[in-house]
Amino acid sequence: MDYASSLLGLLPGGRRTPGLKELLTAVGKYLPPEQVARIEEAAEFGASAHKGQKRLSGEPFIAHPVAAAAILADLHLDADTLIAAILHDVIEDTPTPKDQLTARFGADVAELVDGVTKLDAIQFKSREEAQAESFRKMLLAMVRDLRVILVKLADRTHNMRTIQAMPLPRRRAVARETLEIYAPIAERLGLYNMKLELEDLGFEALYPHRYQVLERALRKARGNQKEFLKKLEQQLTSALVKNEIHARVETREKHLYSIYKKMLRKRASLAEIVDVYGLRIIADRPDTCYRALGVVHSVFKPMPGRFKDFIAIPRVNGYQSLHTTLFGPNGVPIEAQIRTEDMHRVAESGIAAHWKYKSGGDADSMQQERTREWLSSLVELQEDGTSEEFLESVKVDLFPDKVYVFTPKGTILRLPSGATVVDFAYAVHTDIGNRCVAAKVDRRLTPLRTVLRNGQTVEIITAKGAMPNPSWVNFVVTAKARNAIRHYLKSLRRTEAIALGQRLLNQALGEFRLALEDVSPEVQQAVLGEFGMKDLDDLYEKIGLGERLAPLVARRLLPAPPADGGGAHAPLPLAIAGTEGLLVSYARCCFPLPHDPVFAFLSAGRGVVIHRERCVNVEDYRKHPEKWLPVSWRPAPDRLFNSEIRIYVVNRTGVLAAVAAAIASTETNIHHVSIEEQEGDASILTFELKVRDRKHLARVMRVTRRMPDVTRVSRSIAAHARSGRMDADVETMDESDEPDPNLNNG
């Protein structure tokens, strides 16, 4: 085995990279000889493909994939997975095509290798986008075959073991990615030992000085710890034997990164964290675990509020144990975990603990069912948005679940810490989330943004025709809720854009006394082809979003375009009522109201924006007459509009409250108020109000103008009014204005 010896390389701490000999010995203990021969053949193939390539450490490149396969062999994975680990860089780093792997080692191996392969052949705008797209591809491959992520985790684990060979900036970037993505994935899959190793290696690479300080301190404290834990172990073991409980007691060492995170979370000193001791009790059956818990609580008093039953309610990754914190000798906290042998095996090795691929039985275990359920949800997450958004969503979903809440029927839902009522609604079903209007928590009405706590019962109240509120995105924490809200609003926006675009195009065609039905299908298809669009809905959407101008499209649709505009007549105004939706908006620079003289400007991506004719920003838009639209108000629009008035007052105690009360007396809601101090004893109060129309606003202005401390009331025309351009930027409405809703100014 000269070949095997060539693969040996030193790891940090004097360990050696496992070579082919060690790998074949390990797999020979649980795989038949023919499968061992396939693995050896794959190693020879990989060595030939990577011939002449070296790692940054100077060792032959093939040493890395063989070491990754050895990590998976410790988990007793099947031959195809080990072969894929050996060949996982062949497609990416050598000229070997996927078809050759399929022919030589089978379709399963080729698909696994392809799932792990990065997308280096594609040109991305940035390194971050390339990483995110590679991660998206890998996770979607996981949905088809869970073994993809096991290969990737083994690859990352060995890379972290040899990370010291990398330059410092690259080392820190890889370490951060490991801590943010790969260690949480390992935890989500229940690969506890791999998760701990990735965390400690990532911590050492990212914060080497902090790592060294903590390691030295722990080394000093470890001697006293061992003596103390040995006495605890003996005391608990004798108590269990006395009560005829078949269980063994183990001590467990705390890992550096978990200590570091606890110090940050609790803002505690190292001495406070190191003085927390850990024990594990392994019993024969689940009912024995509860009996052992009683014995433990009889020996040491439990801390109130520190007991968790993960046997009755397992974590999302299938982890099961009883957790309790005890007051030990001299009040020293003792963290104890109680579980069965099977639970211990799953806790240490997770999904790999019962891996029997495509063999039934254990493959349908709770652990794999939970994992597949999580992975299938990734398909929904990746349908919309960029790769970077997808990566951020998955990061949010990776952190351990900590909140367990109930539906009214008693079903348990697991949600991330900080989850809100809206997150709960979407966890029940996407349609429930979309139609959610209110909620009851423990039978009491509560706001939708309420953060949920363990054990609460949540009832969602829905309404037909209700839709998600865009502001929900600001407080939901689950990726499912965030993406469902975004997806719904995008589809809603498209629907509204199509409807608006159709109206605008019909209006533009009406100038030529023509309707779209009068245009032949051949001409329609020719114009769609010219614009690169599939159908009329695409064209309507672009027009509604302002990315295509309806008058120009209308001219393209004419059978014979008139010379010098002949045949066209005055454009018909677009009728608006304020209820058109997302694609018709009202400018906040001038706050147009029903019956105001208005015009519309077509803004790319935003649709139609309505301005008042006297708006100071109109001057900028006059440079683009092709984007103007004539508009008119429909009668009695059924909604409230934002408007803004400026009230000049004499400073005195309580004047703001008095003015606000006067406005409220007109049945007007105040949306926002600001105060601007003037020279002397004067101030300007700027109120943003919710009103129905000009008549409603005129009544508010009349009531406030009559107040003794008010010297002047005016309506803002543009934001520039705040900077002192009063003559051009405000509109004064006298009492006589109120009866006539069509007045332009006072």
Residue type, 162: T
Residue 179 CA to its chain's centroid (Å): 17
Which is it for the CA torsion 712, 717, 722, 725, positive or negative?
A: negative
Nearest-angstrom CA–CA distance, 334 and 326: 5
Q: 202, 257 in Cβ contact below 8 A?
A: yes
Q: Hey, what's the torsion of the CAs at 353, 358, 360, 365, to 10 degrees?
A: 40
Helices (H), 511-544: 521-531, 536-544
Q: From the CA atom positions of the chain, what is the Rg in Å? A: 35
Residue 582 to residues 74, 509, 547, 628: CA-CA distances in angstroms? Answer: 57, 24, 16, 19
Nearest-angstrom CA–CA distance, 599 and 597: 7
Q: Hey, what's the torsion of the CAs at 371, 372, 378, 379, to 10 degrees?
A: 180
Residue type, 20: L
DSSP E strand stretches across 442-576: 444-446, 458-462, 574-576
Contacts of 219 (CB under 8 A, 6+ apart): none
Residue 587 to residues 579, 584, 717: CA-CA distances in angstroms? Answer: 15, 10, 10
Residue type, 37: A
Q: 156, 175 in Cβ contact below 8 A?
A: no
Residue type, 57: S
Q: Report which of 366, 375, 377 is spatially closest to residue 318, judged by C-alpha positions.
A: 366
Q: 434, 465 in Cβ contact below 8 A?
A: no
CB neighbourhood size of 525 (10 A):
12
Q: Report which of 456, 356, 351, 353 is spatially closest to residue 403, judged by C-alpha positions.
A: 456
Helix (H/G/I), strand (E/B), else coil: 317: coil
Q: 537, 543 in Cβ contact below 8 A?
A: no
Q: What is the DSSP letter of 179?
A: I
- Please provide the distance, in angstroms rounded to a whole number, between the alpha carbons at the two ends of the chain: 99
Helix (H/G/I), strand (E/B), else coil: 247: strand
Whose structure tokens read 């590679």?
A: 134
Residue type, 33: P
Q: 432, 468 in Cβ contact below 8 A?
A: no
Which residues lie across from 413 on neighbouring strands? 405
Nearest-angstrom CA–CA distance, 124 and 164: 28
Q: 387, 394 in Cβ contact below 8 A?
A: no
Residue type, 648: Y
Q: Helices (H), strands (E): how many in the chain?
A: 30, 21
Nearest-angstrom CA–CA distance, 183 and 190: 11
Q: What does the chain come to in residues? A: 746
Residue 534 CA to its chain's centroid (Å): 32
Q: 575, 585 in Cβ contact below 8 A?
A: no
What residues are labeled active site? 92-93
Q: What is the DSSP letter of 358?
A: T
Whose structure tokens read 């790999």?
A: 352
Nearest-angstrom CA–CA distance, 516 and 131: 47
